[in-house]
Chains A and B, each alone.
Chain A
Amino acid sequence: MKLRLPPGRRLVMGIPFAWLLLFFVVPFVIVLKISLSENIVGIPPYKPLLEWADDTLKVVVNFSNFIWLSQDSLYFDAYVNSLKVAAISTVLCLLVGYPMAYAIARAKPSSQPALLLLIMLPSWTSFLIRIYAWIGILKNQGLLNQFLMWLGVIQEPLHILNTNTALYIGVVYAYLPFMVLPLYANLSRHDQSLLEAASDLGARGWKAFLTVTLPLSKAGMVAGAMLVFIPVVGEFVIPELLGGPQSLMIGKVLWNEFFSNRDWPVAASLAVVMLGLLCVPIAFFNRQQAKELEGEQ
């Protein structure tokens, strides 16, 4: 290794590097290792991969967990459903969040920080408690049904809690700020003279928006979509509290496999497959972030 850095600089890089290596990278190697071992009753509840017996080192690699995952349609359905929920939520967040980000970016410069604070403030209060608030709103005798029946729109209470509708409401509610923030960052940097030029050439209003603003904000949309899509795939709390039996998501399955069935190797293989599915979007996000972080050098 060729590191020609002064000792102080080496330390500045070395400490966080070592921390991340030990507590972020090594754990994934261990997950991979345990996903290949056999479930046993004991502490810890899996068989070691390397066995030292009778002066020989045996490496026992066991693919049965992955075969198990492919044979039970429960897991496959959970993966497909997670990706579907994440994709639909991302689109919904984009539809709801884009006009909001646009409104902030076009507001008076002096009031922009305050408007942004209004968007961010809810996400600083407890995530769990904000999801819990929706239970009281969405349940059969909840406030939404009471309100709609009082208006006379419906006669019978709607069944919303523990359905996919409730799940989408919860996800959009919780992840909206993660969409608005990168979009605002992008939209507020746009050069207004481009819009003036478009206007001079005859493109105004919607046409200018569709041909100038929208294409220019692509990077912001991609960043926001990644910040919503990737964590939602592994989401546990929202499907558990708001979703119903048909909204089975992989994060919830992994949690149950680990805490209820106490099958660590299967939980580890679920995580390995989930990571495999997310590899491409995560790598994509990292490249974008790296470009962003080093952009101005």
Chain B
Amino acid sequence: MKGFSLSKAWFYLGLLFLYAPMAILIIYSFNSARVVTVWAGFSTKWYGELFGDSQLMSAVWISLRIAFFTACSAVVLGTMAAFVLVRFRPTKWKTAFSSMITAPLVMPDVIIGLSLLLLFVAMADVLGWPKDRGMLTIWIAHVTFCSAYAAVVITSRLREMDLSLEEAAMDLGAPPLKTFMTITLPLLLPALAAAWLLSFTLSIDDLVIASFVSGPGATTLPMEVFSSVRMGISPKVNALATLIILVVSVAAFISWLLVRRAERRRQADLEAIKAAP
């Protein structure tokens, strides 16, 4: 079919469009010149400068910590939300809940950021809490929108899951919590891992919402990068970008391998069950 080869060629062009800017960043992170677009020889000095920049490194540390706690909390909330969406009877509470959980997926960042900041200010005014804005308020804001993404990822897995295993466990006398811990949770694990990784990257990547809800005490990595980009381009940012791309690619590759292996094992188990007399 002619249309098929055409779309294939277009697909590779699209990949070129997606990857060329990142490839250029990586190549120029090893450029010894200060000017980003002039090649003046190979050098790793920007990596040295990057690790010597204590302000940038402290921003990295703050972002990593927020992203870790955000991802853990978002997976817990997202799992609960997914159970509500898949396993609960339709009621008007559930309808309200499902539109509330999907709204953060599309809501523009500036609106989420502004509205949460105004909430925190109002709460500080009325309740005296939170006293100052920083890591805690960024964490709350990130959990709110990451839960929505986590819920979507976990929902799609939960919907495919076979209920009969859980029913069998219950029939054999396992209480609901034990069934959840020994049957449901292990089956759900790949989706939970995917949701965790997604929440982690969303949190570590967010500039707009964090800028609104952070105080003077907490500057995240995107905020630091944004201000340095606005001041003028520094090759240090290229080095940082290269490291981020490297870490993400390795993590994505490992998770892809794990998912593929789990999938193959599941297939093999199914075959074995079918083959058994």
Contact = CB atoms under 8 A, between A and B. Distances in A.
Contacts of A241: 229
Interface in B92-137: 93-95, 97-111, 114-116, 118-119, 121-122, 125
B204 to A, nearest CB: 8
B56 interface: no
Interface size class of B (residues with CB under 8 A): 35 or more
A132 B229 CA distance: 7
A24 B100 CA distance: 8
B3 interface: yes
B270 interface: no
Contacts of A209: 3
Interface stretch (B40-48, B164-172, B181-189, B233-241): B233-241
Contacts of B98: 286, 289-290, 293-294
Interface in A3-28: 3, 5, 8-9, 12-13, 15-17, 19-21, 23-28
B120 to A, nearest CB: 9
Chain A at the B interface: mostly helix, strand, loop or mixed? Answer: helix
Contacts of B259: 113
Contact of B106 (A9, A124, A230, A255): A230
Nearest to B253: A117
A113 B2 CA distance: 24
B127 to A, nearest CB: 12
B176 interface: yes
Given A100-B7, A275-B111, A293 B81 contact: no
Nearest to A226: B106
Interface residues of A, number: 96
Interface string A111-130: 00111011111101111111
A116 B106 CA distance: 21
Contacts of A114: 256
Contacts of A28: 115
A176 B14 CA distance: 9
Nearest to A12: B80
Given A30-B122, A44-B125, A121 B249 contact: yes
A216 interface: no
B61 interface: no
B4 A128 contact: no
A101 B24 CA distance: 25
B119 A27 contact: yes
A87 interface: no
A133 interface: yes
B23 to A, nearest CB: 9
Given A16-B151, A271-B115, A294-B98, 20 more contacts: A15-B80, A16-B147, A19-B143, A26-B119, A27-B115, A100-B14, A103-B4, A124-B197, A125-B244, A129-B244, A133-B25, A133-B241, A135-B229, A173-B21, A227-B106, A254-B110, A286-B102, A289-B105, A290-B102, A293-B86
Interface of B: 1-4, 6-8, 10-11, 14-15, 17-19, 21-22, 24-25, 28, 36-37, 77, 80-81, 83-86, 88, 90, 93-95, 97-111, 114-116, 118-119, 121-122, 125, 140-141, 143-144, 147, 151, 155, 159, 176-177, 197, 201, 204-205, 207-208, 211-212, 222, 225-226, 229, 233, 237, 240-241, 244-245, 248-249, 252, 256, 259-260
